[in-house]
Amino acid sequence: MVKLEIEHLSKRYWTERNATAVLALSDVSISVGDGEFMAIVGPSGCGKTSLLNIVAGLLPYEEGMVRIDGKRISGPGVDRAVVFQHSSLLPWRTIAGNVRYGMEMQRRFDEAIMRERTDYFIKLVGLTGFERHYPSELSGGMQQRVNLARALAADPAVLLMDEPFAALDAQTREFMQSELLKIWAKARKTVLFITHQINEAVYLADRVAVMSARPGRVKDVFRIPFDRPRTLHLKRDPRFLELEDAIWQLIEEESERLGVVLAPD
Binding residues for ligand ATP, rule: CB under 6 A, are 13, 15, 22, 24, 44-50, 85, 214
Select the binding partner of residue 15 from ligand ATP, Mg ion, none (C-beta < 5 to 8 A, by kind). Answer: ligand ATP
22 touches, from Mg ion, ligand ATP, none (C-beta below 5 to 8 Å by class): ligand ATP
End-to-end, the C-alpha distance of the chain in Å comes to: 35
Provide the minimum distance between the beta carbon of 49 and Mg ion in the complex, in angstroms, as a whole number.
3
How far apart CA 250 and CA 4 sit, in angstroms, is: 25
Residues of span 30-49 touching Mg ion by CB under 5 A: 49
What's the rounded Cα separation, in Å, for the pair 114 and 153? 8
Instruction: Measure Cα distances from 12 to 4, 64, 107, 165, 206 in Å.
Output: 21, 12, 35, 28, 30
Question: What does 177 interact with, of Mg ion, ligand ATP, none (CB < 5 to 8 A by kind)?
Answer: none
Between residues 3 and 48, which has the closer beta carbon with respect to ligand ATP?
48
Q: How far is the CB of 46 from Mg ion (least distance, A)?
A: 9
| Complex with Mg ion: residue 81 or 127, whichever CB lies closer | 81
Total number of residues binding Mg ion (CB under 5 A)?
Answer: 1
Distance CA 60, CA 76 (A): 11
Between CA 73 and CA 68 the distance in angstroms is: 7
Q: Which does 120 bind (CB under 5 to 8 A by kind): ligand ATP, Mg ion, none?
A: none
Please state, in angstroms and as integers, the Cα–Cα distance from residue 133 to each residue in 103, 119, 143, 146, 176, following that order.
19, 14, 11, 11, 21
State yes or no: cis peptide before 60, omega within 30 of 0.
no
CB of 192 to ligand ATP, least distance (A): 13
Q: Could you say which residues in the range 47-106 bind Mg ion, by CB under 5 A?
A: 49
Under DSSP, the state recorded for 131 is: T
- Cβ distance to ligand ATP smaller for residue 85 or 199: 85
Instruction: Provide the 8-state DSSP code for 208.
Output: E
- Residue 44 interacts with, from Mg ion, ligand ATP, none (CB under 5-8 Å by kind): ligand ATP
Q: Which is nearer to ligand ATP, 45 or 141 (CB)?
A: 45
Contacts of 186 (CB under 8 A, 6+ apart): none
- Within 20-157, strands assigned E span 20-33, 37-41, 63-68, 71-72, 80-83
Work out how close the CB of 218 gets to ligand ATP at its nearest, in angstroms, rounded to a whole number.
13
Residue placing its CB nearer to Mg ion in the complex, 31 or 49 = 49
The dihedral through the CA atoms of 42, 44, 49, 51 has a sign that is negative
Measure the CA–CA gap between 33 and 15, rounded to whole angstroms: 35
Cβ at position 220, least distance to ligand ATP in Å: 17
Whole-number minimum distance, CB 73 to Mg ion, in Å? Answer: 19
Minimum CB separation of residue 143 from ligand ATP in Å reads 18
Query: Residue 214: which of ligand ATP, Mg ion, none does it interact with, CB under 5 to 8 A by kind?
Result: ligand ATP
Rule CB under 5 A: which residues touch Mg ion?
A: 49
